[in-house]
Amino acid sequence: MTSPQKKTIFSGIQPSGTLHIGNYLGAIKQWVRLAADNTGYFCIVDEHAITVPYEPKDMPERILNLAATYLAAGINPDQSIVFVQSHVAAHTELAWLLMTTTPFGELARMTQFKDKSKQLSKKNKAGLPAIASAESGATAGLFGYPVLMAADILLYQTRIVPVGEDQVQHIELARDIAQRFNNRFGEVFTIPEAKINNNTARIMSLSDPTKKMSKSDNTKSYIALTDSPDEIKIKIMSAVTETDPVFSFTKSGPAVKNLLTIYQAFSDEEPSAIEAKFNGKGYKEFKEALAQLVINQLSPLQQEYKKLRQSDDELRIMLGRGKHHAEQFANTTLRDVKEKMGLL
């Protein structure tokens, strides 16, 4: 049997705070699986992270922390290309070129932009869309964010983009941008596809199961990948649940379903086996088992992370190699784009 052709995989995370188990189960765990038999580009998207207010002096450390997290979670930098977005100038250059082909209205529809600009504009009293409000804190960079994301993906002729559910709309836009460009100027771009892991595409908050787990929320609502065993235990024991302890992937309420999903993702056990294991048990027993599972599963990642964070230099050298590889590929696509667009 011939082995299927390698595909190009691209994904990225913003260095904007501590990663949580939603990021790990929804995104990074899939990356590791896909990277084993494909060509993976895993980017630290710092130019996306600066589209909202941030502290410049914290950024270098955050970038290195995120690079260490990618590696600790199982990305092998000898097999995949791990790099920082701002190190490869082709990203912002292609983003500008694509900006000139992207209708304003398409960007105005993006739900992440609407949510984030709403958060930024505290005094949006008139109820106008934040972009129309003089008091809006949203920048042109936040508005153009999805075009930069399209540039990230399209520069590498990416086929598969593994992400959590909240990013699917952005990838649909990247597909539209690529198709429009190919029709108008000639074939340049591969049309990418989002890949979400159905079970873990949207891990919910531990304190409010109607909201996705998010690092912008209060710390009790998420389990950070760097949380200590005690912190993990406290957070899981105080996670909200429903009144009756029913452990069913189909019949439990949203809070318990979310905890069961986390259990399944970390244990890789069949849903029916998990249901049987906790049938008739109380929440305390279930939560203690879940806490121990999460602690055990995160422990190797945490130990590796500590080791990798002992030397900035080694991480910087690894990122330098990633930049070199990424740049070569990206510049070829960029040259083609400029030529097709008629730029001398």
Of these, 182, 190, 199, 214, which contacts ligand ATP (CB under 6 A)?
214
Select from ligand LTN, ligand ATP, none the partner in contact with residue 153, using the beta carbon and a kind-dependent cut-off of 5 to 8 Å: ligand LTN
Q: Is 27 in the site for ligand ATP (CB under 6 A)?
A: yes
Query: Quick check: helix, strand or coil at residue 1?
Result: coil
Binding-site partner at residue 23 among ligand LTN, ligand ATP, none, CB < 5 to 8 Å by type: ligand ATP
Q: Which two tokens stand for residue 61?
A: 């450390």
Decide if residue 227 touches ligand LTN (CB under 6 A): no
**Residue 238 CA: distances (Å) to CA of 232, 248, 298:** 10, 20, 19
Choosing from 114, 215, 220, 277, the catalytic residue is 215
- Taking the CA atoms of the chain, what radius of gyration do you get in angstroms? 21
Residue whose C-beta lies closest to ligand ATP: 26
Dihedrals phi, psi of 195, to nearest 5 degrees: -125, 115
Of 37, 166, 275, 336, which one interacts with ligand ATP (CB under 6 A)?
166
Question: Per the structure block, which two tokens stand in for 49?
Answer: 């992270």
Q: Considering beta carbons, is residue 11 or 124 the nearer one to ligand LTN?
A: 11
| Of 160, 124, 192, 235, nearest in space to 6 by CA | 160
The identity of residue 57, as a single letter, is K
Q: Minimum distance from CB of 96 to ligand ATP (Å)?
A: 23
Residue 146 found at the interface with ligand ATP (CB under 6 A)? no
The answer to whether 45 contacts ligand LTN (rule: CB under 6 A) is yes
DSSP E strands in 139-229: the ranges are 160-162, 193-195
Q: Is residue 146 within 8 Å of residue 113, measured between CB atoms? A: yes
The number of residues in the chain equals 344
Closest alpha carbon to 101 in 168, 176, 45: 176
| Pair 41, 10: CB distance under 8 Å | yes
Smallest gap from Cβ 196 to ligand LTN, in A, equals 11
- Interface residue with ligand ATP, options 215, 316, 325, 338 (CB under 6 A): 215
Taking CB under 6 A as the criterion, which residues in 168-197 touch ligand LTN?
170
Total of chain residues touching ligand LTN, rule CB under 6 A: 14
Residue 212 binding result from ligand ATP, ligand LTN, none, given CB thresholds of 5 to 8 Å by partner type: ligand ATP
Under the binding rule (CB under 6 A), the answer on residue 333 touching ligand LTN is: no
b/e sequence 181-195, b meaning 16+ C-beta within 10 Å: beeebeebbbebebb
Tell me the C-alpha distance between 45 and 141, whole Å.
Answer: 13
Question: What is the contact mask toward ligand ATP in residues 271 to 290, using x (rule: CB under 6 A)?
Answer: --------------------
Q: Is 98 in the site for ligand LTN (CB under 6 A)?
A: no
Residues that bind ligand LTN (CB under 6 A): 10-14, 45, 48, 149, 152-153, 161, 163, 167, 170
Active-site residue list: 116, 212, 215
